Structure 1
């Protein structure tokens, strides 16, 4: 190990391209994976930002934004569970948004996601940006009033609070703005249950989901299992429903395939550059290796030194990639794109990159075919 590290240091100009190639691959894999996770997490915000432990919807619901109406009276089934502290209804669904400009060409049409909940600080389904804003909660009690994320104003074709628009022929007024709730799909529209029923044309006794808060969060799995005993319902813990929503969008949009292909391309480029660099470095050292062979050093030890070099190249590349990845993630977040550097992603990217580097070292061992003590005899 020390010999390999010393060789890299004294021949750093020769090994620098390999280190940069490994760093490039590590950055690409990590940022691409974090970008996918960040974008898909936008689709599960109604679940992730709520305080409920259990979500109950129609049978086999695929994602939080693809719910169907169910009777609100069924909340009594959920509230009757011994582990449940409180239970209530929530309404979430897609609807078309129309903003009429001063001229017909300026008319804006957008598919939005209505999120209707109870309007109080203890609401189980309301996101924290809504339930923690008393002034906004009071404003949303007005009939046909909504709140939107300020980053979505351009998509919705409005300037801010006070503007009006139409949803299925119903005029709504924007009474407040929130932050941090940008959506990958349709912009989120926050409102009361009553307003949501009008906008989505639900009956007065219908909701999309029943949500519950358990006395102990770990009891959520048992409650969901019992609620799944009803044929008309599907129940999930909050974590299960969040993951289910993200997985649905990952598979239906093919985003994972596109990002995975790009990351694979980066790995291939890094592997080729690293392998060729290590091969060239090994080939350039054939005279030294031949001398060591003549001194009686086993060939396997020389090969091990090449693999050790590839290990150090991989390690240095990952160390170089770490600050670059963090900087890119922060920059993407500042521009409104979420890049989630989950520990699983960081660990997985580091492992894949290191395997690539060591694999490149294995490929470089083909240069040993010409290593022979007689190489130094002229």
Structure 2
């Protein structure tokens, strides 16, 4: 190991490109993966920001955005589960928003995501920004009142509280503003259950989801499995439903596929550059390796030395990539782009990058075909 480190130090001009290639790959994979996670977490916001432990919907629902009406009376089935402490309904769905301007050219049309929940501090489906604001809860209790994220005002064509617009021909009023609930797709409209039913055309006894809080959150899986016994329903824990929603958007939208492909491309470019750099450095050291062979050093020891070199190249690349990744993530978050560097993202990126470096070292071993003790005599 000492020989490998010494070689990297004295031949640093040869190994520096490989270290930079590893760092580039690690940064790209981590930031792109964090960007994917951040973007997809926005899409599952109604699940992630609500305190419900169990979500029940129509069969085979793919995402929280694509629910269908189910009878609210079925909430009794969920409330009857021994693990459940309390259950209620929620209404979530897409609806067109129209804001008339002074002339037709200034009219704003936008597809929005309506989120209707019980207006109570203990609500199981309302996001925290709504539950924790008594003033907002009181304002949303008025008929056809909605709250929007303050960062979405320009997209919606409104200036603030008090402005009005139309949703499916129904006049709504912006009664409050929230923060931290920006959407990747249509802006979120938070409102009461009654308002959401009117905007989405639901009957008074219909909801999109049945949600429940369990006495022990760890028992949510058992309640969900039991609810799946009803053929008219699908049930998930909040974590399962959140992951299901994200996976749907990742695998069915061009944006998710493109971001994943970009991360894979960065890894591939880094692997090729690292492999070729290590191969060139190993090939350039053939005279030294031939001398060591003539001294009786087994070839497997020399090959192991190359693999150790690739390990150190990967480690130095990761050390260089760490501060750059954190700085880029902080800069992106400051600009309003969500980059979530979950510990699993960082560990996974480091593991993949290290495997790439070791794989490049394995590829560089093909240069040993020319290593021969007689090389120095010719």
Match of 2:75 in 1: 75
Aligned-residue Cα RMSD (Å) equals: 1.3
Change (3 A) 1:105 1:256: closer
**1:343, distance to aligned residue in structure 2 (A):** 2.1
Distance 1:366 1:59 in 2: 55
User: Is 2:286 aligned against 1:270?
Assistant: no
**Structure 2 length-normalised TM:** 0.97
Could you tell me whether the CA contact under 8 Å between 1:311 and 1:354 is conserved in 2?
yes
SS in 2 for 1:81: coil
**1:13, distance to aligned residue in structure 2 (A):** 2.0
Match of 1:369 in 2: 369
**1:199, distance to aligned residue in structure 2 (A):** 0.8
User: Is 2:152 aligned against 1:152?
Assistant: yes
Match of 2:167 in 1: 167
Could you tell me whether the CA contact under 8 Å between 1:67 and 1:208 is conserved in 2?
yes
**1:302, distance to aligned residue in structure 2 (A):** 1.0
For 1:324-373, what per-residue CA distance to the aligned partner results, in whole angstroms no more than 9, with x for missing partners?
11111111111222112122222221111111111111221222222222
**1:222, distance to aligned residue in structure 2 (A):** 1.6
More displaced stretch, 218-227 vs 203-212: 218-227
User: Is 2:55 aligned against 1:24?
Assistant: no
Match of 2:115 in 1: 115
**1:316, distance to aligned residue in structure 2 (A):** 0.7
**1:256, distance to aligned residue in structure 2 (A):** 4.1
Match of 1:245 in 2: 245
Match of 1:40 in 2: 40
SS in 2 for 1:82: coil
Distance 2:190 2:138 in 1: 13
Consecutive unaligned residues in structure 1, runs of 5 or more: none
Could you tell me whether the CA contact under 8 Å between 1:36 and 1:255 is conserved in 2?
no
SS in 1 for 2:89: strand
1:125-274, aligned counterparts within 5 Å? 125-274=125-274
Match of 1:89 in 2: 89
Distance 1:285 1:60 in 2: 60
Distance 1:272 1:225 in 2: 47
**Structure 1 length-normalised TM:** 0.97
More displaced stretch, 281-290 vs 41-50: 281-290
For 1:105-137, what per-residue CA distance to the aligned partner results, in whole angstroms no more than 9, with x for missing partners?
011111100000111111010100110011111
Could you tell me whether the CA contact under 8 Å between 2:57 and 2:233 is conserved in 1?
yes
**1:261, distance to aligned residue in structure 2 (A):** 2.0
Runs of 4+ in 1 over 6 A off after TM superposition: none
For 1:234-280, what per-residue CA distance to the aligned partner results, in whole angstroms no more than 9, with x for missing partners?
11111111111111111211444322321222122112211221122
Match of 2:319 in 1: 319
**1:44, distance to aligned residue in structure 2 (A):** 0.9
More displaced stretch, 266-275 vs 313-322: 266-275
Q: How many residues align?
A: 378
Distance 2:80 2:374 in 1: 86
SS in 1 for 2:44: helix
Distance 2:289 2:300 in 1: 12
